[in-house]
Structures are given as C-alpha cells and as structure tokens.
Structure 1
C-alpha cells in the first residue's frame, strides 16, 4: 500500500464517530448535580429560621436526596464515558502513533524537493494539492485527538472534585433528617380528626390476620371523630405524586422470594429515604402491623386508603391531619459513606447501590387497586 493510500485510510479510521456520542453530557450532569447539592445546603441554612420548620426541612431533605441521586448518576456517566474514551484510545494506539509520526514528518524542515513528482510540474501540482488536503484532514484528526484527551482530563478532574461535594451532601442530608425528626417531634399544632383508642387498636391488631381485615375495622378504633372535607383524590387518579423516590421491584400479584403474592407494589429506595404524604390525608394508623414492619395508613378521603409498609421511622399519630407533602417516615438502613458512594458510582451496576423496600397498596372501599394507576412514577 503506498503512502498516500495509507494516509487516506488513517484519516477515515480516525474520523469514524462513536455511536451515540455526547461528549459534554456526563460532565454537564455531574456539574449540574453539584449545583443542586449547593442549593440544598443553602436551604438547610435557611430552614432554621423558617416559619414552618417541618415543611422547610422536608423540602431540604428532598433536595439533598435529589442532588445526591443526580451526583451518583452523573459520576456513573462520567466513569462510563472515561472508560469508553480509554478503550477507544487504547484500541487506536497504532493509528495514533502513525498519525503523530506523519504529522512530525510533514511538520519537519524538509526541502521542497521531497514534493517533486517524476512526471513534471503537473504531477507536482497534483501532489501538492493531495498533500494539502491530507494535511488539513490530519490537522482535523489531531484536533479531535486533543479534544478526546482533554475530555479525559476534565472527567478525571470532575471525579476528584466530586469527593468534596459528595461529602458535603452526605453531611447535609444527615443533618436535615436529624433536624426534621426533631421538628416533627416538637410539632404540636397539627389538627386532628379523631382520637385513637389504644385498647381497641390492640384488640383489632390481635384479632386480624390480613391487611384487608385490619383496614375494614379501622373505623372502630376512633373516638370523637369529626367530619372533614379534604380535597378529593379520585379525580387526580394517575397524577398523584409518588410518596418516595425509587423504582418498582415487583408489581401487583408478583410473588416475592418467599412465594408471597400481594396486591400492591414493592419499591426499592435509597437507605434513609424520606417518605411523604402524597396528598392531604388523615393518619388512620401508624405502627407495626402483621409481618409488614412499621405501617402508615392514610385516608385521603372516605373509602380510600393509602398503605405504606416497611418504614423504619414513622412520624405523627393516628388522627393527625397531614398536608400534601408532609413527612410520614424514613426508610431503614444507612446511607453509604463517601468511599462506598464513589465505588458504587463506578461499578458495573452503578446507580442501584444498596436499597430498602417500601410496600405500597391502595384500597378503595377495601378493594385493592393497582398503585401504578394512582401514583406517578410507579410504572414498571
């Protein structure tokens, strides 16, 4: 193969784009996540003086969770992009060496005689035109190589700087959760729809073996219940916000590892994830129940119940009336430390990490419904 053809092949090879390349997206995602965490830090600083500290700290905790999730995803994409560039550069080591050698030769101080063509002036002119075209193409490819190397450098810098941002975010979300729990405990101004009779509640728990049976007897544990008009939720079916950030693991009727089938959905969440009331609602029950762990049962309107099971911490008391978005509890587990988060972001299954599970069930007139038809974001 003559030199001109080899140069042409090299130009074509280095010009081939990678499928789906979006060079700036990973860096942009990580940078935007850092901004979100900084905004959450500001919210935390302002929450101390907020008139409604519970609402302010709920917003702050959610902001931290959103920012940390975005940072984990951004780091995952940064790591994946860096690995992609490394593989590309390693695979093209021979081509790159040839490119650099060719550029060095063409950029040398050789005499014009090296470009003379045996066929005379016309051949020499044509040779000069070919060399000029190849030179421009080689310059473009060299610029592309420099851009790839610069991108690798930027991505590695982002990974290094992410450590400080993640550390701030982890400290911030832990502080926000602690302050939120204290603010909820100190709250005394929640309106109440009824007062729970603890003896009747204990008898109901002891006498029921299913969630449906327990739900059907909830009205019997209330004393001094008053009428209450909350915004209707039936008309918002399918548009109600999800109570927690996460992804669906199992849908209605899908058996778990023990072979148990339930009519609700199981959602994987981050450890210590905040769970909030998706709508204005009354707490009909909160506490341990059957084999479901800590359970929160909300009544947004008569005849409809939202059941959330598997929480570690539950807020409020039976009979409390909650606003939409009010905190109802925290998931179990511990948020990973900085090293674990960085390792997780770079792993093959990055972005999933350790998780807890929240069981969500909707009952209308005590008949189970598909929660995915009620809450946004619960489609599998």
Structure 2
C-alpha cells in the first residue's frame, strides 16, 4: 500500500544519510500521490468537478514525476553504498573482530602491560585514543548498513507504489474527460459557424492560413469582456509539464525550421491554458495532429499542436488552468519504468507539444510570453 510505503520513506528520511535530497523528494512524492487519491474520491461531489479533477490529474502527474526521480536517486545511492561496503569488507571484518575482542575482555585486563606500571599507563593512553575512533567507525558502519536495508525496502515497494500511482492517474484522466464533455456552464463570447469552420479546415495547409481565417468562422455577434493577458507577458507558465526540445526558429534533425517551441512530455500528460483565454479552434489539422488555438488577449493567439484529445467548445472563455487536452501515447508499464530506473534513465518523454505564439498573425518567440528557462 502507498501508506506503508510512506512509512518506509519517513524512516529513510530520518536516518543518518549524507544526501537527503532523494529521501525528501521520494517522501513528498508518496504524500502527493496519497493526497491525489483522496482528491479523486472527493471530486465526484465537488461543486466544480472539472476544476477538482484538473487539480487531481496535476497532483498525480507531479507525484509520479517526483517518485520516479526519488526512486532513481535511491537506486544510485543504494548501489554506491553497496559498492563502498564491498570494497571495505576486509577493513570491516578487522574492525568487527577488534570490537568483539574488546567487548569480551574486562577493562582492567585491556590496560595491563607486561613491562609494568609505565607500560600500563601508556597502554591506557593508547586505548583511550583508539576507542573513540573505533566507535566512530562502528557508528558509521551501522548507519550505512541501516541505510542499505532501508533502501532495499524502498526498492521492494517501488512496483506497488508506481502501479497505484499510474492507475490513479489514468482513472483521474478518464473522469476529467467525461466531466469536460458534460460541462455546460462556461461563459461564451461567440458561437462557432460550423459550416465556415469545416470549409476553413478543408482548405488550409498551414497554421498561417488557419490563424488568418479564424475570424470568418464566428457566427453572429461577439459578446462579453475579452480576456487580457498582456500584463502577464513573459511570466506565463508553460501549458504542459515537460522540457524544451527546440526553441523558436531552431532547425530540427530534418532541417525544418518552425516559428515555435517544441516541448517534450510524458504520455497522456494534461495540457492546460495557463491564462484565461477564449477558445478559437480545436480539432485535427494536417500532420499537426489535434490542434488547440486560444486567444488570451485581443490579436494574440496561442497555438498548441500535437495533442491526442482536445476539450472545450469554440467560443468559450476558459479560466486559467482549464484543461484543453491530453497528450498521446500509452502510459508506461511498471516493469518498463523499473527497467529505466535500473539503467539510470529518467522518465521517458516520448510525446511532444508544439507551442506557437502569434501577434497580429505574425509568429513571435514564445519566450516573449512564456516563462521558458
């Protein structure tokens, strides 16, 4: 059980460990996954079920990322300690022999010396100097052996912890998809002209053409107050958890240059709108896969391409943090994750999200809007 594993990590973090980072990360990860499981149970009765499930999915994703990293670093630490103890096996044997001999002999006998009182005095001084050093070595050895035992317990529980976390994340994503499809309470700025949208999709061959033709797909008047993220320019978080593969106008391996940023993510990772925005488009487009276009400010478009599932209705005003879709791919099996950990690898980021920003139809560097490090 996850709860039993949390106790193991708590013991580990309380031990005399030189590197506390892996312990703290793993313990926090287990607690994050535990809280996510409770959040999933509570989400069915939440007033805003989509918001509750969004936070639940995010909690699972963060917990699993931290758990993998904690387990990876725990595996490295365990291997290092075992190699260290193996290399010191002869020294450890001698130390244990000396300590065992000292424990069996009465203190006065240890101090007696055949040369008389002077030798006995010198003997006492030597023993007084050596004993603390031997005790320090013994304490260090004890701490290392206890740490190895704890690390082995952690590795033994890894499969169960990962399995529960992966199952919980999948259940949360499924519930989120269902909740979004049933949502009807979103504020709407306009109604999509489905005929014009179908004609646009059939005729466009580039993101340029899609972006320039979106205004023709509005049916009737535009109402309400438009979102305005101008004040957040340069500080907006990325829409998905991942790492940057390529930046603005960087050439890929095929020699293709795109005016956007490519973000590597794990399979089935949730994609959100990081700021309030109007949903302008969602659907399949050429070889981009599923595409989502949002408008966070007048004349500004954020384009997300490469999703497997997309959420929302065109014309809706989405609050910051609202999910707009999920990445594709299959969640890794527990055995695959453990194999990667044994090989020293991190989580596999097999999916990629393409992020493009347009100002007045002109692509600009996403780093001018997003907090890309």
Q: Aligned residue for 2:65?
A: 69
1:242 aligned to 2:238? yes
Stretches (4+) displaced over 6 A: none
Q: Which residue pairs with 2:139 in the alignment? A: 143
Structure 1 unaligned residues grouped into runs of 5+: 1-20
1:169 to 159, 165, 181: 165
Distance apart, 1:195 and its partner CA: 2.1
1:372 aligns with 2:343: no
Give the 5 Å matches for 1:131-280. 131-280=127-276
Superposed CA RMSD in Å reads 2.0
The normalised TM-score by structure 2 is 0.89
User: 1:110 Cα shift?
Assistant: 7.3
1:352 to 2:355 alignment: no
CA offsets 1:278-322 (integer angstroms, 9 cap, x no match): 111111111112321110000011111111000000011221221
Match of 1:319 in 2: 315
Give, in whole Å, the separation in 2 of the partners of 1:108 and 1:270: 59
- Provide the rounded CA distance (Å) in 1 between the counterparts of 2:45 and 2:213: 42
Counterpart residue number, 2:6: none
- Is the Cα–Cα contact under 8 Å of residues 229 and 276 in structure 2 kept in the other structure? no
Alignment partner, residue 291 of structure 2: 295
Equivalent position SS for 2:288? coil
SS of structure 2 residue aligned to 1:34: helix
Q: Are residue 283 (structure 1) and residue 282 (structure 2) matched?
A: no
In the alignment, the residues of structure 1 paired with residue 276 and residue 236 of structure 2 have an alpha-carbon distance, to the nearest angstrom, of: 11
Q: d(CA) in 2 for partners of 1:33 and 1:171?
A: 15
Task: Find the aligned partners of 1:305 and 1:357 in 2 and give their Cα distance.
Answer: 20
The equivalent residue for 1:29 is 25
Aligned 8 A contact 1:30 1:158 in 2: no
Instruction: State the partner residue of 2:356.
Output: 361
In the TM superposition, what is the alpha-carbon distance from 1:66 to its structure 2 partner? 1.1
Q: Is the 8 A contact 2:245 2:262 kept in 1?
A: yes
Q: Could you say which residue in structure 2 is the equivalent of 1:3?
A: none
- SS of the counterpart of 1:271? coil
Per-residue Cα deviation, 1:60-90 (whole angstroms, up to 9, x for no partner):
1111111111111111111111111112112
1:214-267: CA deviation from partner (whole Å, max 9, x where unpaired): 212211121213144244212111221221111111111222232211121111
Match of 2:332 in 1: 336
Shift of 1:190: 2.0
2:14 paired residue number: none
Q: Is the 8 A contact 2:280 2:315 kept in 1?
A: yes
* Deviations 1:22-72, CA, capped at 9 Å, x for gaps: 344323322221111110011001000011111111111111111111111
Equivalent residue for 1:7?
none
Q: For the Cα contact (< 8 Å) 2:274–2:321, is it kept in 1?
A: yes
Total equivalences in the alignment: 357
Name the CA distance, whole Å, in 2 between partners of 1:111 and 1:356.
Answer: 69
Residue in 2 that maps onto 1:100: 96
Q: What is aligned with 2:13?
A: none
> How far has the Cα of 1:103 moved from its partner?
2.0
Distance in 1 (CA, whole Å) between partners of 2:18 and 2:238 is 31
Q: Is the 8 A contact 2:250 2:258 kept in 1?
A: yes
Q: Where does structure 2 lack aligned partners over 5 or more consecutive residues?
A: 1-16
Normalising by structure 1, we get a TM-score of 0.88
User: Which shows bigger deviation, 159-168 or 297-306?
Assistant: 159-168
Q: In structure 2, do the counterparts of structure 1 residues 279 and 114 end up closer, same or farther at CA, with 3 Å as the change threshold?
A: closer
Name the SS of the counterpart of 1:107 in structure 2.
Answer: helix
The 8 Å contact of residues 228 and 298 in structure 2, kept in 1 or not, is answered as no
Q: CA deviation at 1:180?
A: 0.9
The offset of 1:174, in angstroms, is 1.0
